[in-house]
Chain A
Amino acid sequence: MKIIVCVKQVPDTSGKVAVKPDGTLDRASMQTITNPDDLNAVEAALKLKDETGCEVIVVTMGPPPAEGMLRELLARGADRAVLISAREFGGSDTYATSQIIAAAIDHMGLENDDIVFCGRQAIDGDTAQVGPQIAEKLGLPQVTYAQDIKKDGDSLTIQRALEDGYMTIKVKTPCLITCIKELNEPRYMSVGGIYEAYEKPMEVYDYNLLKDNPLIDVNNIGLAGSPTNILISFTPPQKGAGQMLEGADQATCDKLAGILAEKHII
């Protein structure tokens, strides 16, 4: 049994966001972190590893510096790391990205008891599309927004979070699950894990390895081949400071009504 966890290095949105002239993110000039939901996906995999002793493989598509993130995930307890990296893959949208990652997973090979975990969505694009698209391309059943996962033989029982409750779904492996932050509390790296992380190999999947995979259409990957085109990106202007009125008397209410009327809200 193995668990493949798809992870993404994203800009730390608590810092300054930089955008290149072509509308894509200028990742080089920004601090990066592991996408928060992906850490919940890694934790879900590591918990199953604690229970079953299965192998956990972390996979990302990104530029060579993404290796640093993968080493951190090895230091948390993952067994193997795969970096999908090639100039031809750069600038891919979700449609292109999911083809490439699906091809990489296909290259690793999925057995009957294997599971693919993804975070719900990345904090940069916020699309929540890549996980479900990978599942579609691999022909896997998928359960999104998992807030609880229990393994029972060859199936998983999953609580799928909804806005006003949850649904319980039983799914057979192999399958793909997307994880939300309510699922678990990610563990830290361990000191021993850190020292072992740099002794483990970094497997790199490049363009030549994946280009002939049937799940990839080489004309539909990279910035040029992606169907999504960004026309303009901009930072929305900050909202002005709010105005607080205090008091429970008639005068305060009249003042509030006056302000709202002035702004044509009432």
Chain B
Amino acid sequence: MNFQLTKEQELVRKMVADFAENEVKPIAAEIDVTEEFPMENVQKLFRYGVMGMNMPKEYGGAGADDVAYAMAVEELAKKCAATAVIVAAHNSLACWPILKFGTEEQKQKYLTKMTSGTIGAFCLTEPEAGTDASAQQTTAVLDGDHYVLNGNKIFITNGGVADVFVVMAMTDPSKGNKGISAFIVESSFPGFSRGKVEDKMGIRASSTTEIIFEDCIVPKENLLGAEGKGFNVAMATLDGGRIGIAAQALGIAQGAQDELVAYVQQRVQFGKPISKFQNTQFQIADMEARICAARWLVYDAAYKKYLSSQGQKISYGKESAMAKLFAAETAMAVTTKVVQLHGGYGYIKEYPVERMMRDAKITEIYEGTSEVQRMVIAKNVIK
């Protein structure tokens, strides 16, 4: 048992924390209002190797481990949860399945782009296929040397800005789950278009759109993994992706607590800083314990994913579900309390904590709701 971070992990944290403080924090409140995608910062994150950081060096990545990645997402989320999810969706949901299931040609073609400026996204959710992801209506029909895709995907993170999409579609509707296949789709393919842009409660600077496939021509060589194995690709991707969202939730909680600790020391009521009141102290103590517990769940899941990537026979599905469930509910509980302890100031946009509370809510919903996480955990425990 060793809870010691590596020197590399510590430096990644320091580097991303510096970046978040100097580049992300100053615009976080503004882009929450304007819903402007922080493209300049995202391009800098490519330049500094955060976008695609887990990809091996031969594809232009930094070869970073999964704990360092979780820490990077956490540090970004402390200042701006939208920026954090842009990174998490790109790394976990778009780059990772191509690395894990792609052919060498697919990796060379797509991962080298996705470590140097091309944003990726993941298309699973449909109007009728949310938590019941197997109810896919999007179809893919083989026609000579290409597939023809038809259907709509909704709530796609990075949808408005990505150029490479990992897309699930039914190649054989009669087989249910086993009829789903995964594809790599470029935004330039004929029949691809972007639809409705969602106006969200939180993470407003991230791009969430509908993606429409209308007789979309996808070359046969862009099938990701074997035909009929798409559901496995999707579920494996989400198992890992949840660690990114758990790290985002952890960062939101920590960021809110950081704001609170500064606030309670300067806010004076009844003649003394409110940090001197036992209610404040006890609430901060509870938050601290809960955030630290969430952190170890997140890092444990990330470390197990790393060991798995190194060839060890180790599963991390339960761990990532526990990390996401606990971190997301921690983010919601902590930000709600932080707003409360700010009083009226917590409810106005002059302080960042109301944004953090709005941002926290989505972590209990996307990449598997808290209810889905409980299902995954229970399935792993009751065998």
Q: Please report the C-alpha to C-alpha distance between residue A71 and residue B50 in the assembled complex, in whole angstroms.
A: 19
Contact B48 A188, beta carbon cutoff 8 Å: yes
Which residues of A185-223 are within 8 A (CB) of B?
A: 188-195, 197-198
Contact B7 A191, beta carbon cutoff 8 Å: no
Asked whether any CB of chain B lies closer than 8 Å to the CB of A55, the reply is: no
Asked whether any CB of chain B lies closer than 8 Å to the CB of A72, the reply is: yes
Q: Please report the C-alpha to C-alpha distance between residue A192 and residue B48 in the assembled complex, in whole angstroms.
A: 8
How many residues on the A side are at the interface (Cβ–Cβ under 8 A)?
Answer: 13
Q: Name the residue in B8, B63, B64, B68 with the highest tally of chain A Cβ atoms < 10 Å from its Cβ.
A: B8
A-B pair count, CB < 8 Å, reads 48
A contact residues around B53 at 8 Å (CB) = 191
The residue on B at minimum CB distance from A192 is B62
A contact residues around B72 at 8 Å (CB) = 191
Contact B8 A198, beta carbon cutoff 8 Å: yes
Q: In the assembled complex, how far is the CB of residue A198 from the closest CB belonging to chain B, in whole angstroms?
A: 6
Contact B50 A191, beta carbon cutoff 8 Å: yes
Q: Looking at the complex, which one of B18, B47, B48, B62 makes contact with A195 (CB distance below 8 Å)?
A: B62
A contact residues around B8 at 8 Å (CB) = 194-195, 198
Q: In the assembled complex, how far is the CB of residue A243 from the closest CB belonging to chain B, in whole angstroms?
A: 21
A contact residues around B225 at 8 Å (CB) = none
Contact A198 B7, beta carbon cutoff 8 Å: yes
Asked whether any CB of chain B lies closer than 8 Å to the CB of A179, the reply is: no
B contact residues around A192 at 8 Å (CB) = 49, 57, 61-63
Which residues of B21-73 are within 8 A (CB) of A?
A: 47-50, 53, 57, 61-64, 68, 72
The residue on A at minimum CB distance from B50 is A191
Contact B19 A188, beta carbon cutoff 8 Å: yes
Asked whether any CB of chain B lies closer than 8 Å to the CB of A75, the reply is: yes
A contact residues around B47 at 8 Å (CB) = 190
Q: Looking at the complex, which one of B11, B18, B19 makes contact with A197 (CB distance below 8 Å)?
A: B11
Q: Name the residue in A188, A190, A193 with the highest tally of chain B Cβ atoms < 10 Å from its Cβ.
A: A188
Contact B7 A195, beta carbon cutoff 8 Å: no
Asked whether any CB of chain A lies closer than 8 Å to the CB of B169, the reply is: no
Q: Please report the C-alpha to C-alpha distance between residue A194 and residue B6 in the assembled complex, in whole angstroms.
A: 11
Q: In the assembled complex, how far is the CB of residue A50 from the closest CB belonging to chain B, in whole angstroms?
A: 12
A contact residues around B15 at 8 Å (CB) = 75, 188-191, 194
The residue on B at minimum CB distance from A189 is B15
Q: In the assembled complex, how far is the CB of residue A188 from the closest CB belonging to chain B, in whole angstroms?
A: 5
Residues A193 and B7 in contact in the complex (CB < 8 Å), given A75-B15, A188-B15, A188-B18: no
B contact residues around A188 at 8 Å (CB) = 15, 18-19, 48
Asked whether any CB of chain A lies closer than 8 Å to the CB of B114, the reply is: no
Q: Please report the C-alpha to C-alpha distance between residue A191 and residue B68 in the assembled complex, in whole angstroms.
A: 9
Q: Please report the C-alpha to C-alpha distance between residue A198 and residue B47 in the assembled complex, in whole angstroms.
A: 20
Q: In the assembled complex, how far is the CB of residue A39 from the closest CB belonging to chain B, in whole angstroms?
A: 11
Contact A194 B12, beta carbon cutoff 8 Å: yes
Q: Please report the C-alpha to C-alpha distance between residue A237 and residue B47 in the assembled complex, in whole angstroms.
A: 46
Q: Name the residue in A71, A72, A194, A197 with the highest tally of chain B Cβ atoms < 10 Å from its Cβ.
A: A194
B contact residues around A75 at 8 Å (CB) = 11, 15
Q: Please report the C-alpha to C-alpha distance between residue A190 and residue B53 in the assembled complex, in whole angstroms.
A: 10
Residues A191 and B12 in contact in the complex (CB < 8 Å), given A71-B7, A198-B7: yes
Q: Please report the C-alpha to C-alpha distance between residue A201 and residue B48 in the assembled complex, in whole angstroms.
A: 22
Contact A71 B11, beta carbon cutoff 8 Å: yes
Q: In the assembled complex, how far is the CB of residue A181 from the closest CB belonging to chain B, in whole angstroms?
A: 14
Q: In the assembled complex, how far is the CB of residue A207 from the closest CB belonging to chain B, in whole angstroms?
A: 27
B contact residues around A71 at 8 Å (CB) = 7, 11
Q: In the assembled complex, how far is the CB of residue B13 from the closest CB belonging to chain A, in whole angstroms?
A: 10
Q: Name the residue in B11, B14, B50 with the highest tally of chain A Cβ atoms < 10 Å from its Cβ.
A: B11
Q: Please report the C-alpha to C-alpha distance between residue A197 and residue B6 in the assembled complex, in whole angstroms.
A: 13
Q: Please report the C-alpha to C-alpha distance between residue A192 and residue B15 in the assembled complex, in whole angstroms.
A: 11
B contact residues around A197 at 8 Å (CB) = 11
A contact residues around B48 at 8 Å (CB) = 188-191
Q: In the assembled complex, how far is the CB of residue B285 from the closest CB belonging to chain A, in whole angstroms?
A: 25
Q: Please report the C-alpha to C-alpha distance between residue A2 and residue B50 in the assembled complex, in whole angstroms.
A: 29
Given A188-B19, A194-B62, 5 more A-B residue pairs with CB atoms under 8 Å apart are A72-B14, A189-B14, A191-B62, A195-B63, A198-B7
A residues neighboring B (CB under 8 Å): 71-72, 75, 188-195, 197-198
B residues neighboring A (CB under 8 Å): 7-8, 11-12, 14-15, 18-19, 47-50, 53, 57, 61-64, 68, 72
The contact sample of 29 A-B pairs, CB cut-off 8 A, is: A71-B7, A71-B11, A188-B15, A188-B18, A188-B19, A189-B14, A189-B48, A190-B48, A190-B49, A191-B12, A191-B48, A191-B49, A191-B53, A191-B62, A191-B64, A191-B68, A191-B72, A192-B49, A192-B57, A192-B62, A193-B49, A194-B8, A194-B12, A194-B64, A195-B8, A195-B62, A195-B63, A195-B64, A197-B11
Chain A to chain B: the 5 pairs with minimum beta-carbon distance, closest first: A191-B49, A191-B62, A192-B62, A189-B15, A192-B49
